[in-house]
Amino acid sequence: MYVRAVSDENTSGEPSVSKNVATLKENDLCKKCICDLENNLIDCTKKLNSWLSNEEWNVLINGNFTFETIKLEHNNLSSIPILPTYDVKHLYIGYNQIDSIANGAFQNLSDLTSLDLSHNKLTSKVLLPDVFKGPYTVSDYKALYNLKSLNLGYNELHFLDADLFEHVPNLEELILCSNNFQVIDGLSEVAISGLTSLKVLDISYMEIKTLPQTLLHGPRDLETLIAAGNLFSKLPDALSFAKNLARLVLNENPIEDLQGDNIFPVMTNLKYLSMSYMPKLRHIGVGAMSELQNLTELILSDNKFLVEIDELALAKNLNDGQYMNYPPLEKVYLNNCNLTKIPKSFLVRWDKLSVLDLRFNPWTCEESNDYLINILLPQINKTTPLLAKTVQCDSPVELKNVDILKVATDHLIDSKKSSGIFWIGLLVFILIAIPITLGIIVLYRRGCFSLNRNDSGASRALYNRTKFNDDFQI
């Protein structure tokens, strides 16, 4: 933000600025609202009972400073009239009770870059294309060419007029979150797909089950898609058209498994993927993310039912050979899941990770999990020790709640293994020794170990054997 002085022929730089600052601060408007000259902001949040009066607008219009940011939030405003000419760039009118907007309400704000209308009571019938029409010319209304960001989140919209954005052709960010659409119908699809300059789209918490397949075909430059908190049970097919998508957020969707035909399509530009707080996600199978070969940050945290990530979930065989390609991951978050083991071949270059969060999982501390215990945890402890200290064993019972770092440094698994071998050996010894001992006792009682055998003893022994043989033959 910067302060722009409107100079005239009889004024010069700094003395004029000082004088104008003093004059502005003495004005009633700046006594009512916060006039932050350094950041070029006037903040009237919770300061107004109604819209600015004509006199207050005149103070702004005729003043020597242009506030590029105006905040009018939390003022119980119920409608938006046609606003007077002013060079504001960022206008915040959220957290009001707005349920109507005049046609051409923003036509005099030709420099307007971002407009926040969130947390109001706007309906689909109220939000019409002419609301955003620009200044009037002899033949027609101009577009609001400078408007790049529009926040319509947290309203009462159920669909969009097909031509809603015809007067804002250069829109780059559209926020529709927390409007109860339930389905993106044909009209809404036309409205969104027509935004060819769109880079950020937020359609989170809209209770939608799927996306129209061609929704993302129009906005070819789309870089960020936020679709959290919806009802997707599988990955939307529309993702295959988002060729330039770099960031994707699918948190809090009821997807159960990523395997079979429910895997990510080719998305060569995707670098950031977040699938956290998934209420049903259990398995991430072979090749589920193999087409995301430029992924650098993967967030799978807080998936309480996630028990398995296949060792080939990220691997892609490019040349039908024995060598696999993996994305250049730098940050991986697997904390707060239900993982017991992590396969070594899930990634090849674990050492390239700057962040690996494995905390709060029921890890198995056995020899089969040796790579996690003796390689990964010590590595994490060197780079981000805070992420290593609370990684604990859940099984076996004797190591439950023991820090895995302690297991590694104290070689508790080797001790446990040696102890196990000792007890197994002891058991085998006992099982062998008991029958041998009993056999010796029996033979001893029969006199087999007597050095001075008498005739009667010999006769008894011969008699007993003969009788046994006789019985056997019968």
Residue 322's contacts (CB-CB under 8 Å, 6 or more residues apart) are none
- Backbone φ/ψ region at 11: left (φ over 0), alpha (ψ -120 to 50), beta: beta
Gap between the Cα atoms of 261 and 253, Å rounded: 18
- Residue pair 333/357 in contact (Cβ under 8 Å)? The answer is yes
pLDDT tens column, 162-173: 999 999 999 999
| Residue 241, C-beta contacts closer than 8 angstroms, at least 6 positions apart | 213, 214, 215, 216, 217
CA distance 344 to 5: 63
The predicted-structure confidence for 110-150, as pLDDT tens digits, reads as follows 999 999 999 999 999 999 999 999 987 767 778 999 999 99
Work out the pLDDT band at 5, boundaries 50, 70, 90.
very low
CB of 243 within 8 A of CB of 222? no
Task: For the chain, give the percent of residues with pLDDT over 70.
Answer: 83
* Percentage of the chain modeled with pLDDT above 90: 72
- Condensed to tens digits (0 to 9), the pLDDT of residues 51-86 reads 999 999 998 998 888 999 999 999 999 999 999 999
Residue 147's closest CA among 106, 179, 100, 104? 106
Prediction pTM value: 0.82
Calpha distance 131→401 (Å, rounded): 60
Domains of the chain: 27-412 (3.80.10.10)
* Residue whose structure tokens are 């008699």: 463
Q: Which two tokens stand for residue 351?
A: 């050492």
In the chain, the amino acid numbered 321 is G
Tell me: pLDDT of 463 over 50.
Answer: no
